[in-house]
Every structure is written in structure tokens, then in C-alpha cells.
Amino acid sequence: MKIISWNVNGIRACVKKGFFDYIKSQKADLVCLQETKATQEQCKEFAEEFKGWESSWHSAKRPGYSGVMTMHRKAPSEITLGMGQELFDSEGRVLISDLKDFYLLNMYFPNGGSGEPRHLFKMEFLSKILPFFKKLEKKKPLVLTGDFNIAHKAIDIHDPVRLDGTSGFMPEERDWMDQLVDAGFVDLFRHFNPEKKDEYSWWSYRQGSRKRNKGWRIDYFFSSRALAGDIKSMRMDQQIEGSDHCPLVLEFR
């Protein structure tokens, strides 16, 4: 099984930058997209391009904002839109696919960088989502993916000293990532690359950041510890430029 995860920063814009060609070239079984900024009705070409696939959309109530979408080559047992918290579900942030052996959670975490109200909103989301993971994991293991909007360690950000305390690299956000790991969830990139430096998944469009590799690793695949041994590889396709984020690719044995 191969799963792609990608914050496309606007699916309609990404489609114009080679999205279909890249996805088809990967021959994946599932594709998880974040920050779609669209509804299914606005993206009717997907049905033509991916005949036989099932697409599940969880769009934000606010037009052109947030949203997640998962494409399944084989229909899942069940799809759940949201985490049962209307405050967050109205922004289209969590989509759960029941894949028989595990739950796949496609997620777009809030960005807290637009002022204190959104930082508090983000911290409230974090406080609710971890207990939600633990409750769901009692039924079966989890694979968590998406844009977490947090760089976990100094190794995950290009300038950890200057950026310490910036939204996405605040102590309380990194502490939450520690809690996630302590709860038994494995960062699958670090599972295979524990000390690898200068590996990022997002680069600002400003100041040629991507060309200079001034990035952040804020997009992840995590799994329940019970599944980690079943993972063959996890990579970041940093050469793909359809978004300010790059795609992540997870392969099972």
C-alpha cells in the first residue's frame, strides 16, 4: 500500500502546476490532500481524471479556506468527516478513513500565526485532538498524516535560534509534539532518518526560501507504534513544486 499526503495550498491552483501528472505517476492507493480551499462541486475534473476512485471531501464552511480531501482507489469501510467538535469541524480539518486494519486520519492543523486568537484556537485544537487519537486508537491502530503546522525539533527548522518562539515553533507547540510521541505515536520520517538534517516539507514563497532550502518540516506521517514495523519507507518528494509544501509518500511492506 502506498499513501501520498500533500498540502496543496489550493487544489485548483495546484492542478495547474502538474498535480494530476504527479499523482498518476506515483500509482498510489490513497491520496490525502490538505488546504484544498475548494468543494467537490468546484473540482469536477477529478471524477474524470480518477475514474473508479472514491473522493471524500471535508471542506470548510468558509469559501476558499482550509479543507481536506482523501482519494481512495478502493472504497474504505467508512468515512468520518470531522472529530465531533463543531468549532473545528466547521473549518474542514479532519477526515477519517476506516481501512479495516487501521484508521487513516487526514488532517490540516490550524495555523496560529495570525495573532493571539488563532494561537489560542490552535492550542485548543491540540488539547482536543490528542485525547481523540487515544480514544480512536482503542478500536484499532492509527496512521496520522497532514500539515501539523509545527516543527517539532531544532533539526526540523532551518534557523531554530532565530525562529524560537515563532508560531509553529513555540515551546508549547513543541511540547504537544513531545506528548504525541510519548503517547506512542511514531514520527515515521525520523523512524527512518533519525539524524538527517536540512530535510523540510514547507518553504515560504518569500525571498527564494525554497531555492536556498530555508524550510520547516511541518508535514508528517505518524503511526501507532504497533504499525511502525509494517512501514517500508517514508519520503518527502522535495523536487515537486506544485505548492509551497512538498508531497510525502508512505509505503507499507
What positions carry a catalytic annotation? 147
Q: Could you give the CA distance from residue 79 to residue 71 in angstroms, rounded to a whole number?
A: 11
Q: Nearest 5°: phi and psi at 196?
A: -70, 125
Sign of the dihedral through C-alpha 20, 244, 108, 235: positive
- 8-state DSSP, 40: G
- 8-state DSSP, 14: H
CA angle 223, 187, 128 (to 5 degrees): 70
Q: Could you give the CA distance from residue 251 to residue 3 in angstroms, rounded to a whole number?
A: 6
Cell numbers 534557523 correspond to 159
- Three-class SS of residue 58? strand
- 8-state DSSP, 208: G
Q: Could you give the CA distance from residue 246 to residue 201 in angstroms, rounded to a whole number?
A: 5
Q: Cβ–Cβ contacts within 10 Å for residue 111, how many?
A: 17
